[in-house]
């Protein structure tokens, strides 16, 4: 009997190991995802995506190898979709809040309830923006990353490349339809990086911000760098007050821009890049090399 239990235990361990390692390290995205801007990792074979501005209002479902499975066209506008997240009830949130020129007054988050095929909206503005656009030095009202956590939506602003001060601001909104003024919670300085995506781990103990830098050496040679900033050991959802760990993302052979990120599990994420003239868009798995196990204080 003991021998049989040992065999069953070993078999279960091996099965789990195979399942954990089954996620491909890297895969190409379908041609329709030229500018992958948002990713929601629903299951190993269910990854929801959307494109950046310029596409129609659609969600694209791929399997775990990047093969297109389904397209969902939504009866809404696509001004500048920048990120996607979900709650624990199966609702999907789409952030139509891209604001490169810092002049939009129609910032919106769509709430898609796939089980009911219903769409609601959250309309919002920022408490600290009073002119549209503000003076160039204050252009920090673009938004490209957010996630759902504990009945709220947490938004992280994108600063300006080169001419900005590299602060990203953390705002919150209620995760229910209505019209609101976002609450400014905090800000954090990310040296020579601007945020393009955000996600929180399934256990709620790690927040990841995807951020990049772009410039031209000698005026014409493109230079890019991308990092993931992981925050842990925070209190009361004050994520940017937690312990911050910066991890570089390995570059592809040519400069590219990473716009999408979501957790696979508590230690691994997928990040995705846009199409370049030489390389197709693709996703890659990144293992977060976190220095210590996360512990959230009550």
The residue among 25, 116, 114 whose CA lies nearest residue 70 is 114
The residue among 252, 145, 128, 126 whose CA lies nearest residue 193 is 145
Regions of the chain short of the pLDDT cut 70: 1-22, 250-255, 277-278, 292-298
- Walk across the sheet containing 68-73 and list its strands: 36-43, 46-51, 58-62, 68-73
pLDDT score recorded for residue 221? 76
Alpha-carbon distance of 274 to 37, in angstroms, equals 8
Full DSSP string of 232-285: ES-STT-GGGSEEEEEEPPP-SS---EEEEEESSSSEEEEEE---SSS--EEEE
Full DSSP string of 80-105: ---EEEE-TTS-EEEEE---TTS--S
Token match 């400014």: residue? 184
Full-prediction pTM beyond 0.95?
no
By three-state DSSP, how is residue 141 classified?
coil
pLDDT score recorded for residue 218? 79
Alpha-carbon distance of 6 to 8, in angstroms, equals 5
Task: Give the list of residues 6+ apart from residue 247 with CB closer than 8 angstroms, or none.
Answer: 227, 228, 229, 230, 286, 288, 289
Residue 8 host element (H or E)? helix 2-21
By three-state DSSP, how is residue 40 classified?
strand
Q: What is the largest CA-CA distance in the chain?
A: 76
DSSP type of residue 239:
G
pLDDT score recorded for residue 54? 86
Instruction: Outline where 146-219 has alpha helix (H).
Output: none
CA end-to-end span of the chain, whole Å? Answer: 44
Helices and strands in the chain, H and E counts = 1, 21
pLDDT score recorded for residue 16? 40
């Amino acid at each position: 009997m003991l021998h049989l239990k040992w065999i069953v235990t070993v078999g279960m361990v091996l099965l789990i190991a195979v399942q954990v390692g089954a996620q491909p390290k890297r895969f190409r995205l379908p041609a329709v995802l030229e500018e992958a801007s948002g990713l929601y990792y629903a299951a190993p074979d269910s990854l929801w995506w959307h494109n950046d501005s310029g596409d129609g209002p659609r969600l694209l479902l791929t399997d775990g190898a990047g093969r297109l499975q389904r397209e969902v066209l939504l009866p809404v506008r696509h001004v500048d979709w920048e990120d996607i997240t979900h709650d624990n009830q199966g609702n999907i949130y789409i952030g139509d809040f891209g604001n490169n020129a810092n002049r939009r007054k129609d910032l919106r988050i769509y709430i898609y309830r796939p089980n009911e095929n219903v769409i609601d909206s959250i309309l919002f503005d920022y408490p600290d923006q009073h002119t549209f656009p503000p003076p160039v030095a204050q252009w920090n009202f673009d938004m490209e990353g957010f996630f759902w956590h504990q009945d709220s939506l947490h938004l992280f602003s994108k600063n300006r490349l080169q001419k900005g001060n590299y602060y990203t601001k953390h705002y919150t909104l209620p995760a229910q339809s209505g019209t609101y003024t976002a609450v400014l919670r905090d800000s954090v300085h990310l040296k020579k990086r601007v945020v393009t995506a955000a996600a929180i781990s399934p256990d709620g103990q790690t927040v990841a911000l995807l951020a990049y830098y772009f410039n031209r050496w000698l005026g014409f040679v493109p230079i890019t760098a991308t990092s993931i900033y992981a925050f842990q050991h925070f209190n009361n959802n004050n994520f940017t007050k937690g312990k911050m760990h910066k991890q570089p993302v390995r570059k592809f052979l040519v400069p590219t821009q990473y716009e999408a990120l979501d957790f696979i599990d508590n230690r691994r994420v997928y990040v995705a890049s846009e199409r370049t003239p030489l390389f197709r868009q693709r996703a890659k798995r990144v293992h977060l090399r976190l220095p210590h196990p996360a512990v959230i204080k009550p």
